[in-house]
Amino acid sequence: MQYNVLNRSLPKLTPPQIAARLAIYKQMPNSNNEQTIQLADHLFIAAISGSSQAKKDLIHFKDKFTALDGAYGEECGA
């Protein structure tokens, strides 16, 4: 039996949309808030849209956003 854990029908981002998310990642301060979690979600979508840089940024997300704790930290696996 094979399970798909990724919804393949998720809309993919265009290159300009990916670039915008990557720019936000570079500028986002180390904070513990909803915008940080939304950025992680956006980086995930950018990564599955084919961005190797978004994938790298997502892998190192907890290294950049060390302020994550509580519910936000749990959501990002901090």
* pLDDT single digits (tens) 2-27: 666 777 788 899 999 999 999 999 99
Residue 20, pLDDT score: 97
Q: Return the domain boundaries, the chain.
A: 15-75
Full-model pTM: 0.76
pLDDT band at 69 (very low <50, low <70, confident <90, very high): low
CA distance 62 to 59: 8
Using CA atoms, how far apart are residues 58 and 52, in angstroms rounded to an integer?
10
Burial 34-63 (b: 16+ CB within 10 A, else e): eebbebbebbbbbbbbebeebeebbeebee
> What are φ and ψ of residue 72, in 5° steps?
-65, -40
pLDDT digits (tens, 9 = 90+) for 31-59: 777 788 889 899 999 999 999 999 999 88
